[in-house]
Structure 1
């Protein structure tokens, strides 16, 4: 059994009603950071941290449009060669939505995914 929280100043019980505690706003920047981290955790995406030495990959980017408790995101992420882009994009959407909903308490109404090219450095041939 859990006892109600007590105020440190009056010793009176503190209401557990969220509306009585005040308003919590989550900055779009916070939502964007969570989305970029979620992108990087999806198999098939390539980031500067996960790219092999001969590959130059851009960092994932995100843009969040937040309205109240709803968010619409646009993410840009590098994807591995020879992986089905549609499948990787589906996983990116799933990860981004789940992480934003879990960590921010927002409903994600959409995630637009743009796959960007990664660049392989050419190796010079030795004769």
Structure 2
């Protein structure tokens, strides 16, 4: 049995390894992107964002395909999505996100309607 330091944790080398799968990062990223687009256009029905993630030893990169409302500030919405995704992934995983690529796949005319639940 190893002694535990006064702080309550064993030395880092003895605690083990935490691996976070790419699919976990993709789900977090897609949800963050969805929340950002919903805030930008609460009355517009948009398809769910599609996310991909590449995991590296100590960081992640994320790519997203999203729909944005039309007319609307496409660049500003994409910037908001990028910031939200980076912040949420880093906060929830503790892993730095070095790049978030956002592809606007479709412009969707805004309007009042029922949102699809996915």
Whether 2:6 is the aligned partner of 1:26: answer: no
Q: Show structure 2 runs of 5+ residues with no match.
A: 110-118
Partner of 1:5: none
Q: Distance in 2 between matches of 1:100 and 1:69?
A: 13
Deviations 1:60-112 (Å, cap 9, x if unpaired)?
11000110121111011111111111100000010000011111111111100
Partner of 1:123: none
Query: In the superposition, relative to structure 1, how do residues 78 and 104 fare at CA in structure 2: closer, same or farther (>3 Å)?
Result: same
Partner of 2:116: none
Partner of 1:99: 88
Contact 1:78 1:117 in 2 (8 A): yes
Q: Show structure 1 runs of 5+ residues with no match.
A: 1-9, 121-127
Q: Distance in 1 between matches of 2:16 and 2:90?
A: 20
Partner of 1:40: 34
Q: Distance in 2 between matches of 1:87 and 1:119?
A: 16
Q: How does 1:3-82 map to 2 (within 5 A)?
A: 13=4, 15-42=9-36, 43-44=39-40, 52=44, 55=45, 57-82=46-71
- 3-state SS of paired residue (2:70): coil
Moved over 4 A (4+): none
Q: What's the CA shift for 1:40?
A: 0.9
Partner of 2:113: none
* Aligned residue pairs, count: 104
Look at both structures and tell me which one has the larger radius of gyration over its CA atoms.
Answer: 1
Contact 2:69 2:108 in 1 (8 A): no
